[in-house]
Structure 1
Amino acid sequence: MCCGMVVNLFAQTPKVPYTSSKFEQLGAELPSPNNTRMADGSPGHEYWQNRADYNIKVELDDEKQSIKASETITYTNNSPKDLPYLWVQLDQNLFDKQSDTYKSLTYSLEDNFGLFMFIEYMRRTNFDGGYQILSVKDKLGKPLKFTIQRTMMRIDLPTPLKAKGGIVSFSIDWSFNITDAAADPIYTRSGFEFFEKDKNYVYEIAQWFPRMAVYSDVRGWQHKQFMGRGEFALPFGNYEVAITVPADHIVAATGELQNPLAVLSPEHLKRLEQAKTAQEPVFIVSQKEAEEAEKKKANTKKTWIYKAQNVRDFAWASSRKFIWDAMQVSVEGKKVWAMSYYPKEGNPLWERTSTKVVAHTLKVYSKHSIAYPYPVAISVHGPVGGMEYPMISFNNQGRPNPDGTYDKKTEAATISVIIHEVGHNFFPMIVNSDERQWTWMDEGLNSFLQYLAEKEWDKDFPSQSGPAKKIVSYMKGDPKKLVPIMTNSEQIDLMQFGPNAYSKPATALNVLRETVMGRELFDYAFKEYSRRWAFKHPEPADFFRSMEDASAMDLDWFWRGWFFGTEPVDISLDSVFFYKTPDNKNVSENGNIKMKNINPFIYTNIKGILGADANKALNENVYLYGLHLSNVGGLISPVIIQVNYKDGTSEIIRLPAEIWRYNPENITKVIHLPKEVSSFALDPHLETADIDEANNHFPRKQMPSQFDKIKNGANAGIEEEED
């Protein structure tokens, strides 16, 4: 009897052509495991990475807005291959007059965007911001042959650098003109801002020195040209940097200040000491002092010396306009400096929020990834819209009105950008992914943690990415214009870059945490990935495999759909049947929920298998509903069903994504319920990014149109800001 029942039950499953590739393992899409990167997503016993240590001297010309500098790079080759040449990044060549970035821009002059891009292009023809490489020499001072290939420079070595521990030192002298950040807001990650009223500058200096490219086990040299979008792949090392600026400037930088007695006044030193135990930020340089410095310009210079250990980059900021506040906070049992530097134009907003947000970010990110290992984290308010470097970030969002007033939207923008940029200390400054190749591995993961930090700051924070409903408008866009998350950074359309590389992966991880895995399982796996790849160079496969390895969940269907595909979630509840049994006496047809007589033979088998007690319950409460579901969008998703009973109560039933594994297009799910149902709804809390709510209800429910939303004062834009 048992076997007969099984045969008949399986006979009810519709037979379709084989289309379940959505549940196939990611085989060819991922590289094969090996001794450097293992099948569980962790570094292998033969994992290696090269190293670059820097000693740099740089001088800022505040009159000409230019830089002149020299460096000694000590490069260690831990790879198993001798290297006949080295590749160095010259990212500042993006602003060279002959830059391919501007030559390759395509646009028309029929819309505002095209006009904007044309103006930017014309501005660049009058500015030469590329490197002037003055010399490249070996440690004995002898010239080394070098070839500049756009934003890369090859240095030919007299003899190959030996594998597994070979070390070479060489020096480079260079100069360049600093970019006016306002002249190119799309591509500028470094530059100056000029304040007409007091005739002073704020400088934020990054991508400013020739930097070693990454040589890795995955692709050899990462020397893909910098076109402006794909950011930076860099090796770790130690830095000692001497920064010479006008004597009245305040300098913020990666690392720890080595000569405070030489550059700070006794009063500033006293305030720094007070800040170590303060519960609120302490002004090291007050607004009054900064305003006094604005009125006159020093004729002498000072040199600020900073050291940083085990970092992948170095950036700095300088201005006589800087207000500076600081406090020490406890992060996972360790004291860390949280600091902010900003001109008076940022106040009162910045003195009220910035350093506190820095401290908050360090605590939340440390809880969800790894304990923050560095001694300081800095937020600088200046010309760059938002950019990150080890221990320091540049944040232009959130400037108050000239009279000092600001609204909640401006405040939220300030908090949001600081969380995001400070959060980048973890991804990619510590978990050091290849930004030149995969923007999502730092921006997407960081945007996800940014959302968690925003909600811990304020549960009603108006987050712009993270919640599933925020990505719906992008997911339902023209399929011809969408590309997978797993697309190289430089190949993502400029207008789609934010949703693709930031918001969609952030949403995917939020769906994975809240709906697919659950918080406890997700959080453990995410921390394990972070721990494994801290201070190393992870690839996408390492992330995918680590998340599965630490959770015992097969997530290949999830990565395939969300990261390798462009299909949206759109599950339709097409119809519902009430299965009437011989014991149903009082149940009547309910609107669109039709009656269907259950197969008597199957019903007899069910009763026989259930046994006496369950059989009695079945006879008293026989409410069997068959739900016909179709996957209209194509993206596999768990099925979340809200059951609304006739007595006014409701419950949520959650079904895993594997419900689609035999037929990813159409399924029927029979559910046994204790009471008679009035209606069903899919995804009632909008947690799967389903792009069409109208087909989620049965019987169908009239959804408000956009006109109705506007009429009721709740259009999409307002709704986005209020959430």
Structure 2
Amino acid sequence: MKLKVVMLSLSVFAYTGFTAQNIQNNPGSNHGNKFEQLGTILPTPNIYRTASGAPGHGYWQNRADYNITAYLDEDKKNLKGSETITYYNNSPDELDYIWLQLDENEHSNIRNAGYGASSVLPSSTTDQQLKATELPVKDNGYGVNLEKVTDASGNPLKYIVNKTMMRIDLPKVLKKGEKLVFTIDWNYNISNRIKMGGRGGYENFPEDGNDLFTMTQWYPRMCVYSDFQGWQNHQFTGRGEFALVFGDFKVSMNVPADHIVGGTGECKNYDQVLTSDQLSRYRKAESANEPIEIVTLDEAKKAEKNHSKQRKTWVFEANNVRDFAWTSSRKFVWDGMQVTIPENNNKVMAMSFYPKESYGLYRKFSTKAVAHTIKTYSEFTIPYPYPVAQSVEASNGMEYPMICFNFGRTEKDGTYSEGTKNGMIGVIIHEVGHNFFPMIINSDERQWAWMDEGLNTFTEYLTEEKWDNKFPSKRGPAWTIVDYMKLPKDQLEPIMSNSENIVQYGPNAYSKPATGLNILRETIMGRELFDKAFKTYAKRWAFKHPEPADLFRTMEDASGEDLDWFWRGWFYGTDPVDIAIDKVTVATPDLETAKAASEKKYQVESPLVNSFEDISKIRNREDKNITFYVDKDKDLQDFYYRYDRGQEKIDTHKEYITKTEASTPLDAKDKEKFKNLTAYQIDFTNKGGLIMPIILEFTFEDGSKSYDKSSAQIWRLNEQKVSKTYYFDKKLVSIQLDPMKETADIDTSNNFWSSTGSNSGTSKFQLFKQKQEAGSVRGGASGKVNPMQASGKKS
């Protein structure tokens, strides 16, 4: 969903599944935390979900097929429906009850989820907004009215409604491999979406007296029963979106005869509901490479003036989808064209529905943006598999299989701002893109908003970039997340948080995960490796129910990159990136001074045998069946054999003098070679806490530049401070850290060093001619004289 209002404050939502806790085994250390593996956090692999991130050989998911009839009463703003659901239990479990979602109850003031928000006195208000508080609360008339719930034979089924969830108790256990057929009849009053908010409802146009209906979450829908959670029956609060089951749909919508209907899937009776001219245009659009108006602007304007009392029934079918949504209005202009997806040669009808208020924008851009989106997403994920992709202008932003609702209206004179144009294109790309995340790669939006919105926003960014190189993307580039990452910790929560508990919903669910994936692609993994791994994830989990661990594990499994440090920091933590250049020490070689011979005093190494006898050694000596090899072979009894047994007497307290040879000075040729060499030691501090690669731009006196990048692993032995030393044969003027702003560093004021700045030190280092012969290590590994040297013996 493309959110325009993202600041909400909600009460705490308890969740006992996947934890967002950033566990650390060594929190008091300067290393060993940020690179700790996620094994203690991720769920244990099993036959359903493997350690590689792929579905296991025991993976299963249940299924629900729907046959629905609906009657839209435009005058009364009421929808009446009847549905027959065939539910297949593919799980290994026996089910004695099932759960369904009654999302329309969220519009009810007495049957909603009850996730209240705090309220304060307004500084100002209007007479329309001000009314006396009613206690007890009176029913506002919205929400689902259940008329009948029966089995296939017409027998009543027992059920209970818990706010936005409905439990049906089964007369007998539904075993593995069995199916359940049942029917629900219901109705509800359709809310004014503009006044009451929400994803579905109607919008009234006072100037011409017409309505535009967006029918979403409009029928009782099966909850997901899964291997990782059981029933996903968390209440619908209006924010956390949906967890849904795949199945086939057949839907019949009875609407006013002058309405045009668009819906999930393909219409099966255009020949009955369209005029002959409209049907002819539709047939032409099926093979057109430019959008053709199927319902023209003139026809839409004419329909607005005459409210038909007749009715028509539109029939749609959709296979292997997780949901069904539709729209209905006499205001619609409708255009379409064919799009071919190269990867699977799928012929797709790209279409748009829009009122005259949007004509100046939607006629030019909408359908082509639909076509561009499904083709580009197909490149980065899987080939688009469905026969239809549709964009509907409805002054909002929300997604469903094969259909989505977007904004984008012109001024009354037909003009529009650049912001409106780009916002419209962006929301169309975003909502059409949701066909892939989560409509096909079917994550649990109710729990993990980022797996839906974040992954889709990232792919939206890739698609916007391929739409126009100058497109002003607001989410995806690293620099766009900086203001959010700067916020105080009490205003932040990890990406791995339940949807209902996020304060800054837009940045947390959309921007930060999208930015993180872009940093992975551009800065950490590289495009080729990332794209292969991301496509692997999409392919593995298409038409299945992935969880976060499935993404994390797949990206590592398919790339050969250990990314646990990145998931831990970016998804489980709230630390920002702030890497600082603390100091640059500039050193030049001393080419004239050779090192003279010197003497040092060392003590002798003590014997390496234990100062006590351990139990194993004692028992081995006492065992008459054991003969020690060095006792049998006298050739093995060297100096240290005797020394360890006290047979060689060395004064370990005496100081022995060792001499080091003088170094060889550089000759004239070498001095010329190194005369311009300068060394630069750059000291970095990790001030923010979130590790990232160190990316440097060097600018030299002659105006030339060079670049270097150290991977994030440079921090593995010290997560707080590291140093890098470079040797250049020309003078540095400046060093710029993260020159392209690709790591989301929140403070760029400490990312720069200048040779004229104050954070510099100077020194010299001695440079000698390296001897070619291999010399012995004086003083031994311990830094002391070895006993053999002290004794003067060699055996």
CA-to-aligned-CA distance 1:196-223 (integer Å, 9 cap, x gap): 1111100000000000000000000000
- Change in Cα spacing, 1:20 to 1:260, as seen in structure 2 (3 Å) is same
TM score, norm. by length of structure 1: 0.87
The answer to whether the aligner puts 1:462 opposite 2:517 as a matched pair is no
Q: Which has the higher helix share?
A: 1
CA offset digits 1:391-411 (Å, max 9, x no partner): 00011x221112211011110
Counterpart among 535, 548, 551 of residue 540 in structure 1: 548
- Which among 252, 258, 261 is matched to residue 248 of structure 1? 258
The corresponding residue for 1:54 is 66
Report what 2:510 is aligned to. Answer: 502
**SS of the residue aligned with 2:183?**
strand
Task: Give the aligned partner of residue 680 of structure 1.
Answer: 735
Contact conserved, 1:573 with 1:695, CA < 8 A, in 2? yes
Whole-Å separation in 1 of the counterparts to 2:546 and 2:124 = 40
1: CA distance, partners of 2:218 / 2:316? 16
Equivalence for 2:587 = 579
1:103 deviates by 5.8
Partner of 1:592: none
Out of 326, 329, 335, the position equivalent to 1:316 is: 326
Q: 1:109 Cα shift?
A: 2.5
Aligned to 1:152: 165
2:277 to 267, 276, 293: 267
Deviations 1:483-506 (A, max 9, x none): 00000001112xx10000001111
Q: Is the 8 A contact 2:405 2:431 kept in 1?
A: yes
Letter in 1 for 2:361: L
Distance 1:545 1:120 in 2: 55
Aligned partners of 1:233 and 1:433 also within 8 Å: yes
Contact kept, 8 Å, 1:475 with 1:568, in 2: the verdict is yes
- Unaligned segments of structure 1, at least 5 residues: 1-15, 586-600, 703-723
Q: Residue 135 of structure 1: which of 148, 152, 171 is its match?
A: 148
Stretches of structure 2 lacking an aligned partner (at least 5 in a row) = 1-27, 594-599, 601-659, 758-795
* CA offsets 1:591-610 (integer angstroms, 9 cap, x no match): xxxxxxxxxx9xxx9xx9xx
Q: CA deviation at 1:377?
A: 0.3
Query: Residue 196 in 1 paired to residue 191 in 2?
Result: no
Give the counterpart letter for 1:344 in structure 2. Answer: K
User: What residue in structure 2 maps to residue 390 of structure 1?
Assistant: 401
SS at match of 2:389: strand
- Within a 5 Å distance, the mapping from 1:336-351 to structure 2 comes to 336-351=348-363
Measured at CA, do residues 131 and 455 of structure 1 come closer, stay the same or move farther in structure 2, by a change above 3 Å? same
2:181 maps to what in 1? Answer: 169
Tell me the equivalent position of 2:454.
444
Shift of 1:115: 12
Cα distance between partner residues in 2 of 1:500 and 1:432: 20
Q: Closer, same or farther in 2 for the Cα pair 1:330/1:616, shift >3 Å?
A: farther
Report what 2:716 is aligned to.
661
Normalising by the residue count of structure 2, what TM-score does the alignment of the two structures yield?
Answer: 0.80
For the 8 Å contact 2:589–2:677, the answer to whether it is kept is: yes
Shift of 1:674: 3.7
| Residue 521 of structure 2 is aligned to residue 513 of structure 1 | yes
Distance in 2 separating the partners of 1:538 and 1:120: 47
1:272-671 equivalences under 5 Å are 272-332=282-342, 333-383=345-395, 385-395=396-406, 397-493=407-503, 496-583=504-591, 619=674, 622-671=677-726
Aligned to 2:648: none
Aligned to 1:595: none
Give CA-to-partner distance per residue, 1:358-398, whole Å, 9 cap, x none.
00001110000000000000000114x10000000011x22
In 2, Cα distance between the equivalents of 1:506 and 1:426? 15
Q: Any idea what SS the aligned residue of 2:39 has?
A: coil
Which of 57, 75, 80 matches 1:63? 75
Which of 103, 115, 122 is matched with 1:91 structurally? 103
Q: Aligned partners of 1:432 and 1:121: how far apart in 2? A: 42
- 2: distance between equivalents of 1:114 and 1:674? 73
Measured against aligned partners, the alpha-carbon deviations of 1:639-674 in whole angstroms (never above 9, x if no partner) come to 101111121111111110001001111111112334
- Counterparts in 2 of 1:141 and 1:671: CA distance versus 1, 3 Å: same
Q: Tell me the number of residue pairs that the alignment of Structure 1 and Structure 2 aligns.
A: 656
Structure 1 residue 512, shift from structure 2 partner: 0.6
Distance 1:29 1:615 in 2: 56
How far apart are the structure 2 equivalents of 1:113 and 1:303? 45
Q: Distance in 2 between matches of 1:263 and 1:421?
A: 28
| Contact 2:113 2:235 (C-alpha < 8 Å) held by counterparts | no
Deviates more, 1:480-489 or 1:644-653: 644-653
Compared CA separation, residues 651 and 109, structure 1 to 2 (3 A): farther
Residues 143 and 362 of structure 1, relative CA distance in 2, 3 Å threshold? same
Q: Paired residue for 2:236?
A: 226
Q: Could you report, residue by residue, the CA deviation over 1:430-455 in whole angstroms, capped at 9, with x for unpaired residues? A: 00000000000010011011111111
Deviation string, structure 1 residues 84-111 (Cα, Å, up to 9, x no partner): 0000011111111214556611132256
How many Å separate the matches in 1 of 2:132 and 2:550? 39
Check the 8 A contact 2:693/2:709 in 1, yes or no: yes
Query: How far does residue 266 in structure 1 lie from its aligned partner after superposition?
Result: 1.2
State the one-letter code of the partner of 1:390.
P
Structure-2 change in CA distance of 1:633 and 1:451 (3 Å): same
Q: Report if the CA contact (8 A) 2:83-2:183 is conserved.
A: yes
- Provide the rounded CA distance (Å) in 2 between the counterparts of 1:617 and 1:411: 63
CA deviation after TM superposition for structure 1 residue 633, in Å: 0.4
CA shift, 1:584, in A, is 8.8
Conserved? CA contact 1:694–1:701, under 8 Å? no
Is contact 1:120–1:184 with CA below 8 Å preserved after alignment?
A: no
Once residues 552 and 23 of structure 1 are traced to their aligned partners in structure 2, the CA distance between those partners, rounded to angstroms, is: 16
Give the distance between the partners of 1:701 and 1:489, measured in 2 at CA. Answer: 50
- Cα distance in structure 2, aligned partners of 1:556 and 1:673: 35
Give the superposition deviation at 1:265.
Answer: 1.3
Change (3 A) 1:579 1:184: farther
CA distance in structure 1 between the aligned counterparts of 2:222 and 2:671, rounded to whole angstroms = 75
Tell me if structure 2 keeps the 8 A contact 1:109–1:115.
no
Look at both structures and tell me which one has the larger radius of gyration over its CA atoms: 2
Residue identity (%): 52
Question: Could you say if the C-alpha distance between residues 391 and 68 of structure 1 is closer, same or farther in structure 2, counting changes exceeding 3 Å?
Answer: same
Instruction: Decide whether the 8 Å contact of 2:30 with 2:720 is kept in 1.
Output: no
Deviation at 1:114, TM superposition (A): 14
Aligned letter for 1:681?
Q
Q: CA separation of 1:74/1:117 partners in 2, compared to 1, >3 Å: closer, same or farther?
A: farther
Whichever residue aligns with residue 391 of structure 1, its letter is: M
Q: 1:674 to 1:111 in 2, by over 3 A?
A: farther
1:701 Cα shift?
10
